[in-house]
Amino acid sequence: MGHYRSNLRDVEFNLFELLERDRLFGAQPYGDIDLDTAKFILREVDRLAREDLAESFEEADRHPPVYDPSTRSVTVTPEFAGAYKTWMDAEWWRLRVLPELGGTDAPNSLNWALAEFVLGANPALWTYVGMPTAARVVWHHGTERDRKIAQIGVEKRWGATMVLTEPDAGSDVGAGRTRAVPNDDGTWNIHGVKRFITAGEHDLADNILHLVLARPVGVDSVGGPGTKGLSLFLVPKFHFDPDTGELTGERNGVYATNVEKKMGMNVSTTCELTLGDDAPARGWLLGEVHDGIAQMFEVIEDARMMVGCKAIATLSSGYLNALDYAKQRVQGADLAQMSDKSAPRVTITRHPDVRRSLLTQKAFAEGMRSLVLYTASWQDEIAVKTAAGEDAALAEAVNDLLLPIVKGYGSERSWVVLGTESLQTFGGSGYLREYPIEQYVRDAKIDTVYEGTTAIQAQDLFFRKIVRNRSVALTHLLDEVKAFAAASDPASPITGERRLLGDAVSNVEAIVAKMTGDLAASKDESTTVYRVGLNATRLLFALGDVFVGWLLLRSAHIALTALAEPQAPSDISFYEGKVAAAQFFAREVLPKIAAEREIAETVGDFVMELDEAAF
């Protein structure tokens, strides 16, 4: 058996029992999909991921792509290249491609469910398949010429990258110095050095289309300071005939000048790209307007969702690997017989702390899966409303609110639980390369860092998604959570847990109130905003816990209803597990938000006033 343990049953539960996604099938814009087809696709991708895509996971980690500085090229191992080809040949990635570009309109909820299988089996694979996202953004913002390029990119299965970061412009993208100079023929010459470019160079595709942020120079009224002065350019690795897509054989002046050596995700090439150094790097401005950061953010939003999905995919497989191990590992006697040295040895699933750990893993993995798919269900809502010509503003705002939580909270909780609980379940064996967990931990760490660090997600959440949105999306969601928490259900085994959820919402609202108050006070005393900064990640985590607790309890409610009817033995266990995970999370995690509130309310100025020498 390979390393990857998927959870198809839970994915289906989320899609069809919790989120009732099948209600969308057969109607616009998802007229081509029905429930049987969706379940068939899920089963197929699950099988493909476990049996084929997962196979090179370990090998590719031990034998990362080789960078040849003399040709500035990268060679990927045949094993990983085989997995990539298998995924591309299977064509399921076309469910993410616009119909205008040869794809099928499938709900984002279904797509992110499929993505979980791929990202769990071989996460780096996904980073090489950027074209569906890139082509969508190019199609939406491009001229006829750009749309043709998007069509060619999909048809020829080219790679695509997002090129933002520079050595001195990481979180602060607006500090980027890469320049773009217009040519007479409508193209631009790009000059600069970019860093940390995922899949920036490889031999898996015939060409790579780089989406590059650069600052136009020599053009009136554009190219000012900060992110708003950035434009987005389409810069191919190889020049091609824009009508046919045939490569001209001429190399464009964008080269990988280094490939980083990393802690994990070793098979995903992380490149330094130098543009326009010894040969011109020519590209096209995307569309006719200089609106680079907004255009790039459409790619970033997709990638942030991907990171959250990857994080929980790995946690879920980590948990299921740990569970398998715990069920077999015999060690020590039952604690209730600890004084009897001749008592029979038991599997470690009998030990209280291991059970606590396994339920922690289960609750976070399943709760955050719900969070990812719940967020995706708002993306479905945007598509449905847009197709019907209706106002999608609320759906957009709720999706925007949830994205930093999916990415920031999802990645942090996954990485911590993987390291402290999943690996720990294996004892010393978890530290060995014999088991996949040590690689999971290494591969998962990047999720808290790239696509905007956790601190960036926390600031995005508060300043942009709450304050700038005037709390419309937050209030909408918290009202739903409060209504669920307050619903009367006296005989139910989750009555106490609903109360704990209600308390957690009050506490998170108090954290928001404290931060909003400090922000308002900063109009008179600007440094008061530091208090907001000190509470930002606290809010991100607290809100994530509330939403996960709510989704787990909603799942438990559905499970309890199902358990009232006759069920197959495997379904009884499944539904009992859903109830237990929700009860555990509500009892063990949600009460901690009260302490977070207390800390948040006492946050003052001393941390920022401390002399740097005292650190």
* Stretch near ligand ST9 under the rule CB under 6 A, chosen from 166-174, 364-372, 564-572, 604-612: 166-174
Q: Which lies closer to ligand ST9 via its Cβ, residue 65 or residue 130?
A: 130
Q: How far apart are CA 492 and CA 502, in angstroms?
A: 16
In whole angstroms, how close is the CB of 219 to ligand ST9 at the nearest point? 20
According to the binding rule CB under 6 A, does residue 198 interact with ligand ST9? yes
Q: Which stretch binds ligand ST9 (CB under 6 A): 83-91, 98-106, 130-138, 335-343?
A: 130-138
Burial (0-12, 13-18, 19+ Cβ within 10 Å), 184: exposed
Sequence-ordered list of residues with C-beta below 8 angstroms from that of 268, at least 6 positions apart, any chain: 123, 124, 127, 128, 198, 199
CB atoms within 10 A of CB 432: 10
Residue 211 near ligand ST9 by CB under 6 A: yes
Quick one: tokens of 120?
């769990």
| DSSP summary character for residue 435 | S
- CB-nearer residue toward ligand ST9: 173 or 473: 173
Binding mask 456-475 for ligand ST9 (x = CB under 6 A): x---x---x-----------
- Interface with ligand ST9 (CB under 6 A), residue from 303, 405, 437, 511: 303
Cα angle 76, 92, 36; round to 5: 150
Q: Which amino acid is at 609?
A: E
Q: Please give the size of the binding site for ligand ST9, defined by CB under 6 A.
A: 32
Task: For the CB of residue 126, give the shortest distance to ligand ST9 in the complex, in Å.
Answer: 6
Does residue 177 touch ligand ST9 according to CB under 6 A? no
| Whole-number Å distance between alpha carbons of 569 and 575 | 10
Q: Under the criterion CB under 6 A, does residue 108 sit at the interface with ligand ST9?
A: no
Residue 214 interacts with ligand ST9 (CB under 6 A)?
A: no
14 contacts ligand ST9 (rule: CB under 6 A): no
Using CB under 6 A as the binding rule, whether residue 245 contacts ligand ST9 is answered as no
Nearer to ligand ST9, 196 or 547 (CB): 196
146 touches ligand ST9 by CB under 6 A = no
Closer CB to ligand ST9, residue 233 or residue 550? Answer: 233
Cβ-Cβ contacts under 8 Å for 470 (sequence gap 6 or more): none
| Residue 227 binding ligand ST9, by CB under 6 A | yes
Q: Where does this chain touch ligand ST9 (CB under 6 A) — which range of 66-74, 158-166, 435-443, 515-523?
A: 158-166
Measured from the Cβ of residue 482, the count of other Cβ atoms closer than 10 Å reads: 16
Rg from Cα positions in the chain: 25
User: Which pair of tokens denotes residue 233?
Assistant: 């350019």
Q: Which of 115, 149, 162, 582 binds ligand ST9 (CB under 6 A)?
A: 162
Give the Cα separation of 370 and 377 in Å (integer).
10
Q: Candidates 13-21, 300-308, 363-371, 470-478 — which segment interacts with ligand ST9 by CB under 6 A?
A: 300-308
Site for ligand ST9 in 354-393 (CB under 6 A): none
Cβ partners under 8 Å of residue 595, min gap 6: none
Residues 429-458 that bind ligand ST9 (CB under 6 A): 450-452, 456
Q: What is the DSSP letter of 420?
A: I
**Closest CB 395 distance from ligand ST9, rounded Å:** 15
Peptide bond into 132 cis (omega under 30): no
Judged by CB under 6 A, the residue of 56, 111, 122, 133 near ligand ST9 is 133
Q: 259-280 burial, b if ≥16 CB within 10 A, otherwise e?
A: beeeebbbbbbbbbbbbbeeeb
| 545 belongs to the binding site for ligand ST9 (CB under 6 A) | no
Choose which of 56, 165, 316, 414 interacts with ligand ST9 (CB under 6 A).
165
The site string for ligand ST9 over 277-296 (x = CB under 6 A, - otherwise) reads: ----------------xx--
- When the beta carbons of 108 and 227 are compared against ligand ST9, the nearer one is 227
CA distance 96 to 90: 13
Residue nearest ligand ST9 by beta-carbon distance: 130
Residue with tokens 């034998």: 63
Q: Is 269 in the site for ligand ST9 (CB under 6 A)?
A: no
Q: Are strands 159-163 and 208-216 parallel, antiparallel or unpaired?
A: parallel
Q: Which of 412, 451, 497, 596 is catalytic?
A: 451
- Of 197 and 582, which CB lies nearer to ligand ST9 in the complex structure? 197
From the CB of 41, what's the least distance to ligand ST9, in Å? 20
Nearest-approach distance from CB 598 to ligand ST9, in angstroms = 29
CA nearest to 552, candidates 587, 519, 601? 587
Q: Does residue 171 bind ligand ST9 (CB under 6 A)?
A: yes
CA 472 to CA 485: how far, in whole Å? 20
Residue 228 or residue 350: which is nearer to ligand ST9 going by CB? 228
Is residue 451 annotated as part of the catalytic site, yes or no?
Answer: yes
Q: Which residues lie closer than 8 Å to 384 by C-beta, 6 or more apart? A: 24, 27, 28, 29
CA torsion angle for 566, 571, 576, 582 (degrees, to 10)?
A: -120
**Burial (CB count within 10 angstroms: exposed 0-12, middle 13-18, buried 19+), residue 282:** buried
| Of residues 26 and 225, the one with the C-beta less far from ligand ST9 | 225
Count the Cβ atoms, other than its own, within 10 Å of residue 366. 27
Applying CB under 6 A, does 265 fall inside the site for ligand ST9? no
- Within a 10 A sphere around the Cβ of 53, how many other Cβ atoms? 25
The nearest distance, CB 30 to ligand ST9, in angstroms, is: 22
Toward ligand ST9, which CB reaches closer, 209 or 500?
Answer: 209
Q: With CB under 6 A as the contact rule, which of the stretches 32-40, 168-176, 242-250, 482-490 interacts with ligand ST9?
A: 168-176
Sole binder of ligand ST9 in the list 114, 306, 322, 402 (CB under 6 A): 306
Query: What are the distances in angstroms from CA 191 to CA 165, 174, 215, 232, 255?
Result: 14, 16, 10, 13, 12
Cβ atoms < 10 Å from Cβ of 607: 11
Question: Considering beta carbons, is residue 172 or 598 the nearer one to ligand ST9?
Answer: 172
Q: How far is the CB of 440 from ligand ST9 (least distance, A)?
A: 17
Contact flag: residue 300 with ligand ST9 (CB under 6 A) = yes
Task: List the catalytic residues.
Answer: 451
Where on the chain is the footprint of ligand ST9 (CB under 6 A)?
126-127, 130, 133-134, 160-162, 164-165, 171, 173-174, 198, 211, 226-227, 293-294, 297, 299-303, 306, 450-452, 456, 460, 464
